[in-house]
A and B are shown apart, each in its own frame.
Chain A
Amino acid sequence: DQQVKQNSPSLSVQEGRISILNCDYTNSMFDYFLWYKKYPAEGPTFLISISSIKDKNEDGRFTVFLNKSAKHLSLHIVPSQPGDSAVYFCAASANSGYALNFGKGTSLLVTP
């Protein structure tokens, strides 16, 4: 069963606007959450993470928000740039272990 869900397979945003990518999870044991970005013909690259003891983590244009009660996290990109166009994967792990559970990804397209 899919423990990490990204219900939007695709998202289109205009350059300069905010991109919001959503992720839901079902396993209450998850305590570490990550976002990866993947370009075609490349492996996923780590973008940003958040521990369950926090509700927000910010790194430049990227901010991840965690709502533990709702088992929901989101990635905000602002301002969005055409180079941000990629597939974004949400991932989670339990007990800070190495095994990551991934969502199916959301394909973001940032248009000029």
Chain B
Amino acid sequence: SAVISQKPSRDICQRGTSLTIQCQVDSQVTMMFWYRQQPGQSLTLIATANQGSEATYESGFVIDKFPISRPNLTFSTLTVSNMSPEDSSIYLCSVWGGANTGELFFGEGSRLTVL
């Protein structure tokens, strides 16, 4: 299993500002994933972050709104840019358990509230 730490755990932000969420993993991983859970909704994959290359974004998510960095094999950041109340969500970092398990390990999540 992997231990994943996210910062901040929660924050209240003003409309129009940007916030960067950090994700630290206790082991080296090739792929890191960023999910979003809006209130009452399922977890939705935002993007996949590979070290040394541009992140791959899912339909409906763009780099300008959610820029991602992946400077090494244990760390990634997700920025939520120009926030609006619709961005109020829990943002989750995750890593793959590997080919033999097919499961994802998740961080504790970052709960953002945009006023």
Contacts and interface: CB of A to CB of B under 8 A. Distances in A.
Interface residues of A, number: 24
B104 interface: yes
B103 interface: yes
Nearest to B96: A98
Interface string A39-50: 001111110010
Contacts of A45: 106
Contact of A99 (B9, B45, B107): B45
Contact of B106 (A4, A41, A43, A49): A43
Contacts of A8: none
B12 interface: no
B4 interface: yes
Contact of A93 (B41, B58, B92, B102): B102
Contact of B42 (A2, A41, A93): A2
Nearest to B111: A41
Interface size class of B (residues with CB under 8 A): 20 to 34
A62 interface: no
Interface in A43-59: 43-46, 49
Contacts of B9: 41
Given A43-B92, A98-B31, A98-B96, A34 B40 contact: no
Contacts of B92: 43-44
B16 interface: no
A49 B103 contact: yes
Contacts of A96: 99, 102
Given A42-B109, A43-B92, A32 B45 contact: no
Nearest to B95: A98
Interface of B: 4, 9, 31, 33, 40-45, 48, 58, 92, 94, 96-97, 99, 101-109, 111
